[in-house]
Amino acid sequence: MNRIILGVDPGSRATGYGLIAATGESLLHLESGFIALPAQLSHSQRLARIYQRLESLISRYNPEALAVEAVFLAHNVQSALKLGQVRGVVLLAAGQADIPVFEYSPLTLKKAIVGYGQATKTQVLLMVENLLGLTLNNHNTADALALSLCHHFHSRWPQRSVSPAAI
């Protein structure tokens, strides 16, 4: 069975996305990249750009799930608000297409990809490159692909914890 999973790494500067197709033990990279947000756009125009890009990826690939990082920390209330705004648009894109959303903590993500909860961003990027046989030069893109891989590894075995995004 071919499972298509979309991972998204929302950020107020750039939002990474990564689509993989998993068939049994084989993993295929479909498409990945990041949505850059030009400074001259207004905030609502930036959010519209992210939404339109995700909407078009979802309609092209029809993924069965969207994986995002669970957020527990932010530097401060203002950065939490900004991150929340981008995150809201990502969750909306899934909601409008009726795709379930799964959240993974940074610890779960690093354990799933590198096998070690304290792994660095570079270690995650290198493992994603290795697993999918490609070269990446952007951490947002690598994190987005890592999230889609993490969802695949976790949902292959139903006894592992997979929980729909909580409110």
Residue positions annotated with a catalytic role: 9, 69
Give one word for 16, left, alpha or beta, with left for phi > 0 and alpha for psi -120 to 50.
Answer: beta
CB of 30 to a second copy, least distance (A): 22
Residue with Cβ nearer a second copy (1 or 167): 167
CB of 58 to a second copy, least distance (A): 12
CB of 130 to a second copy, least distance (A): 32
69 in a known ligand binding site: yes
The span from the CA of 42 to the CA of 151, in Å, is: 33
Distances (CA, A) of 124 to 36, 55, 67, 144, 150: 21, 27, 16, 11, 11
CA angle 131, 134, 140 (to 5 degrees): 85
Residue with Cβ nearer a second copy (15 or 141): 15
Question: Which helix (H) or strand (E) element contains residue 95?
Answer: helix 77-96
Residue with Cβ nearer a second copy (1 or 73): 73
Q: Which residues bind a second copy (CB under 8 A)?
A: 12, 39, 42-48, 51, 71-74, 76-78, 80-89, 91-92, 94-96, 100-101, 164-167
Q: Per the annotation, where are the binding residues for Mg(2+)? A: 9, 69
